[in-house]
Amino acid sequence: MTPPKKLVEINEVLHIITYPKNVAEIGVARSKKLTELGIKGIYDYGPLFVEGLRVLGKGHSSIVLLAKHESIGDVAVKIRRTDSKKDSLFREGYLMTLDRFGVMPKVHYFDDDLIIMEFIDGVTLGKYLRTNDVKGATLLKLIMNVLTAAYKLDLNLIDHLELANPYKHIFILKDMEVKIIDFESAKVSENPCNLCRIVSYLTNLLRISKQSNMEVMLKKYKSGCRDSFQDILTSLTSVMAQLNGISV
């Protein structure tokens, strides 16, 4: 059972918003900025504990908190760590605003130190597969949705670069809607191939051997022919359907 959310005032978590160095001057400035942007408090909520507070995520360059916004409601706030080797979150926030197909969290605000964005209320692909008895038509739908999300990310001309092992970067929401997160290493590309990485990951995970025609279709897709996506989707789902004894 998920623990209830507990709202904490911003000035009570200055050590978190300046993690890990706990610099008072930076804490005051960030607290003021968050308040001006409409953040009413930080929730003690998430799968990880950081210095007494539950948080949504913690990486090498940032920490992600669940917060309450005065008009939007629950939002995720990504805050640059005070020991981060990256000097800004601006580029990541900007890249996320380029999403035309709704596969990334919606960004409400970003600057060098903060990204305020849509809270993705779901579970990672890895956890979803571990904790749910996903098979048959349900598994087929899930795979189709994941492939489609990767394809849409390609259409956004954004290369994620970390989807070769996407278990923690892909979130599954209600009705198996798919969102992709974590764009710290991403870049704009004329010909990204997020789909190729996902296909490779899924074929290995599900122990499906790539057929020669799949290799040809992926090579065609990599060359920039996005029309081959439907062929890739049909081929992979057809193989999966045969293995699961269902019709498509």
Element (H, E) at 221: helix 212-222
Q: Is residue 26 part of a domain?
A: yes
Q: Is residue 184 part of a domain?
A: yes
Task: Look at residues 69, 100, 118 and tell me which one is the last residue of a structural domain.
Answer: 118
CA 75 → CA 42, 65, 120, 179, distances in Å?
A: 10, 8, 8, 15
Task: Look at residues 84, 118, 152 and tell me which one is the last residue of a structural domain.
Answer: 118
Half-sphere exposure of 94 (CA within 13 A, CB side): 8
Q: Do 11 and 104 belong to one domain?
A: yes
Q: Mind listing the pLDDT tens digit for each residue in 180-230?
A: 999 999 999 999 999 999 999 888 877 776 666 888 999 999 999 999 999
Q: Do 217 and 113 belong to one domain?
A: no
Q: What CATH number is attached to the domain comprising 12?
A: 3.30.200.20
User: Rounded to 5, what percent of the chain is helix, strand, coil?
Assistant: 40, 20, 40
Task: Look at residues 118, 146, 164 and tell me which one is the last residue of a structural domain.
Answer: 118
Q: Is residue 137 part of a domain?
A: yes
Q: Judge whether residue 144 has pLDDT over 80.
A: yes
Out of 4-8, 176-180, 231-235, give the one with best mean pLDDT: 176-180
Q: Mind listing the pLDDT tens digit for each residue in 6-60?
A: 999 999 999 999 999 999 999 999 999 999 999 999 999 999 999 999 999 999 9
pLDDT (average), residues 235-240: 84
What pLDDT was estimated at residue 245? 58
CA–CA–CA angle 120, 149, 169 (5° rounding)? 50
User: Do 123 and 171 contact (CB within 8 A), yes or no?
Assistant: yes
Structural domain span for residue 34: 6-118
What pTM did the predictor assign? 0.92
DSSP-based three-state secondary structure for 243: helix
Q: Mind listing the pLDDT tens digit for each residue in 112-139?
A: 999 999 999 999 998 998 888 888 888 8
Q: Letter for the amino acid at 212?
A: S
Phi then psi for residue 246, to 5 deg, are -125, 160
What pLDDT was estimated at residue 215? 86
User: Do 194 and 154 contact (CB within 8 A), yes or no?
Assistant: yes
**Residue 240: which residues within 8 A CB-CB, separation 6 or more?**
139, 140, 143, 206, 208
Q: Quote the number of domains for the chain.
A: 2
Q: Do 130 and 237 belong to one domain?
A: yes
Q: Do 78 and 134 belong to one domain?
A: no
DSSP-based three-state secondary structure for 78: strand
Q: Letter for the amino acid at 86?
A: K
Q: Letter for the amino acid at 172?
A: I
Binning pLDDT at 50, 70 and 90, where does residue 153 land? very high
User: Do 8 and 43 contact (CB within 8 A), yes or no?
Assistant: yes
Q: Is residue 1 part of a domain?
A: no
Q: Do 92 and 132 belong to one domain?
A: no
Q: What CATH number is attached to the domain comprising 221?
A: 1.10.510
Q: Do 65 and 178 belong to one domain?
A: no
Relative to beta strand 170-172, strand 114-118 is unpaired
Q: Do 144 and 109 belong to one domain?
A: no
What pLDDT was estimated at residue 1? 42
C-alpha to C-alpha distance for 31 and 18, rounded to whole angstroms:
10
Q: Do 133 and 234 belong to one domain?
A: yes
